[in-house]
A and B are shown apart, each in its own frame.
Chain A
């Protein structure tokens, strides 16, 4: 027994390229927006709600709203890093249910490669106004370090191996080979991953996501409008968000806040984790996927290594098809923010519009989980449960 959606995702568009040296950030935002509107069969004049992250140029929604000449009744620029756009879907549905807007546009675009910021896991600059930053400083830490610490601790507690983590990348490459837009389309093996250079032991280069230019956009609207369009109906039936930090120095570094958002979103939807046919899981690093699979309840804590092994995440092969576009590990991680592409591929699966080689048969229920920020020290998980309606 699922609940009646208060809103539907009727437009989804991913910019095709992964390197944009000759298009401005504003143009990429606009092309993403127009692509999603065309997909929905709506026009820019229909948009009365706008949701964006700090990847949009200027202050909050102001520049892009001006550039696109939007006539807004509602906006929301919640920033939880990579999960922002997943949060925006839920917030758009809430705004629509509250009568604040009818057609919500959510955009993401960035060009870190074109701007020479494609340096992998960048060293963070210190911010003395942010008490939690002290944790990573001043011992030569970067983003990657904390994820590697989570991996090392997971290996210690549960016997998880580098080879098991490698299977997550292998699955992504199996999917990406069918995606003509993916940055990395070559199949890789477990041996390729564990023999790739160590970046931050125990994580190798191929345990890390790509850095890409690009972006995407989504259109969320109310049921009456959604049913008037010619697109398959993808409804939001459950959502949850939270934050998790250091708890004054007493954090459990291998458990994410998804352990709370997953069960809450599923309960709201009235479905169980076993009902999920497809999952988009934020894959900044292989370890990120592993802890989400456990925390969301696809398997018991500590069993993630066994779950992902032997093609466990490959569509048509394993127990659960995950990131069938190739994910952030192989396809796309635009502007270092993966939440948007996670929603887009879930919409494709629910519409039956994924590549035939990776399409999950009769895919009527999908879960999206994004982790914004950094595992262990500060992050915002956001879970969506999406259902296809006839």
Chain B
């Protein structure tokens, strides 16, 4: 079955180094100013190779979510979730919600990325930002 792995190509190394430091950086295009994810050698919108690794806010909104009831990896024991998060900066990333969970659908809930050890590496997870009582 095996352990889930990260993707560590040449273009990915700066991102994983920033995650290791607990503050994820993504490439911000020097031409159009857009953040992109996953890391890639050029901006998909203008093909500019000019990009700066820039910290993201770590805040975003859950775009979709699933809960696995079948095991695919030794390090992910069901039931476990994965969430697609639209970061404030724009790109959609995938993470895993830890801690308190919203009731009903998670879509639209605000989350913040946190950093933790998992399977011998540092990666981000999501923490629910509970809506403030009105």
Interface residues of A (CB under 8 A from B): 120, 123, 125-142, 145, 148-150, 152-153, 155-156, 197-202, 246-251, 253
Contacts and interface: CB of A to CB of B under 8 A. Distances in A.
A253 B84 contact: yes
Contact of A123 (B66, B73, B95): B73
Closest 5 CB pairs of A and B: A249-B91, A140-B76, A134-B38, A128-B9, A249-B37
A139 B96 contact: yes
A131 B35 contact: no
Interface string B26-49: 000000001111111101110000
A245 to B, nearest CB: 8
B8 interface: yes
Contacts of B40: 131, 248
A198 B79 CA distance: 10
Contacts of B70: 120, 199-200
Interface of B: 1-2, 4-12, 34-41, 43-45, 63-70, 72-73, 75-76, 79-80, 82, 84, 90-96, 105, 107-108, 118-119, 121, 123
A249 B93 contact: yes
Contacts of A142: 72
Contact of B68 (A127, A134, A145, A249): A145
Given A128-B9, A131-B38, A248-B44, A137 B66 contact: no
A249 B92 CA distance: 5
Nearest to A136: B94
B32 to A, nearest CB: 10
A137 B93 CA distance: 10
A120 B72 CA distance: 10
Contact of B4 (A127, A131, A137): A137
B128 to A, nearest CB: 16
A126 B67 contact: no
A253 B64 contact: yes
Given A131-B38, A140-B82, A251 B64 contact: no
Given A128-B9, A130-B9, A141-B94, 10 more contacts: A123-B2, A126-B6, A126-B7, A138-B123, A140-B68, A140-B82, A152-B66, A156-B108, A201-B68, A253-B64
Contacts of B9: 128-131
Contacts of B11: 131
A272 B90 CA distance: 37
A140 B107 contact: no
B86 to A, nearest CB: 9
13 contacts: A123-B72, A139-B4, A140-B4, A140-B96, A149-B82, A152-B64, A198-B69, A199-B70, A247-B45, A250-B90, A250-B91, A251-B92, A253-B63
Contact of A128 (B1, B2, B12, B68): B12
A127 B92 contact: no
B55 to A, nearest CB: 16
B37 A248 contact: yes
A150 to B, nearest CB: 7
A137 B6 contact: yes
A91 to B, nearest CB: 26
A386 to B, nearest CB: 34
A72 B65 CA distance: 49
Given A139-B4, A201-B66, A249 B36 contact: yes
Nearest to A129: B9
A133 B94 CA distance: 11
Contact of A138 (B6, B68, B84, B90): B6
Contacts of B84: 149, 253
A123, A152, A156, A251 interface centre (most CB from chain B within 10 Å): A152
Contacts of A148: 66
B91 to A, nearest CB: 3
Contacts of B107: 152-153, 156
A118 to B, nearest CB: 14
A132 to B, nearest CB: 6
Contacts of A152: 64-66, 105, 107
B38 A249 contact: yes
A273 to B, nearest CB: 28
B99 to A, nearest CB: 15
A150 B84 CA distance: 10
B64 A138 contact: no
Contacts of B2: 123
A201 B69 contact: yes
